[in-house]
């Protein structure tokens, strides 16, 4: 699937890459490139993890994915401005693209990534850009509603590394 043709993509992305180490995140937040909460990893016990999501205004599966995150204890703030610009700014190549992009405690999350995989990412804290589920596989969170029946396509959640490469983080078969 060519992820550059999503109907709800935004304007051409600006140049630049956002580094993901803690010191640079704090500097990025101070400069206004990130909201302050994105760089602040400590949180109170039992507090919801904040997630910021960029999506198209009419994308139903994005809304379903957001509800999946909220049902799993995340606090979501959504922007209906498209995700192409932020995807590039966070350092994710188009080949990892999907219909929404999120920022979670300094990590990029692209597409229909299950909440459990995001929790594992936050627990293990690998040196990476983040996670991606390219395209829109049926059966992934947000693509699993009644319209799809019992269909479940196999897919992989990828760990996207800082050099632009990726490895399989979790497979769903």
What pLDDT digit, counting tens, does each position of 73-120 carry?
A: 999 999 999 999 999 999 999 999 999 999 999 999 999 999 999 999
Give the pLDDT score at 82. 96
Is the overall model pTM greater than 0.85, yes or no? no
The radius of gyration computed from the CA coordinates of the chain, to the nearest angstrom, equals 15
Examine residue 160 and state whether it is found in any structural domain, yes or no. yes
Give the pLDDT score at 162. 96
- The helix (run of H) or strand (run of E) holding residue 142 is none
Q: Give the total number of structural domains in the chain.
A: 1
Q: Which domain holds residue 95?
A: 17-39+49-172
Examine residue 12 and state whether it is found in any structural domain, yes or no. no
Work out the pLDDT band at 46, boundaries 50, 70, 90: low
Beta bridge partners of 166: 160
């Amino acid at each position: 699937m060519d992820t550059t043709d999503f109907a709800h993509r935004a304007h051409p992305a600006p140049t630049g890459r956002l580094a993901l180490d803690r010191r640079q995140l704090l500097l990025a937040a101070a400069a206004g490139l990130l909201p302050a909460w994105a760089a602040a990893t400590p949180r109170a016990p039992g507090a919801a993890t904040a997630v910021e999501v960029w999506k198209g205004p009419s994308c139903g599966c994005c809304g379903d994915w957001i509800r999946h995150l909220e049902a799993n204890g995340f606090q979501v703030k959504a922007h209906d401005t498209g995700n192409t610009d932020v995807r590039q700014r966070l350092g994710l190549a188009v080949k990892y693209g999907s219909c929404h992009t999120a920022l979670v405690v300094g990590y990029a999350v692209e597409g229909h990534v299950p909440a459990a995989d995001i929790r594992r990412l936050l627990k293990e804290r690998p040196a990476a850009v983040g996670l991606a589920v390219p395209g829109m596989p049926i059966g992934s969170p947000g693509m699993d509603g009644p319209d799809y029946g019992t269909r479940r396509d196999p897919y992989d959640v990828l760990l996207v590394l800082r050099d632009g490469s990726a490895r399989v983080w979790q497979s769903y078969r």
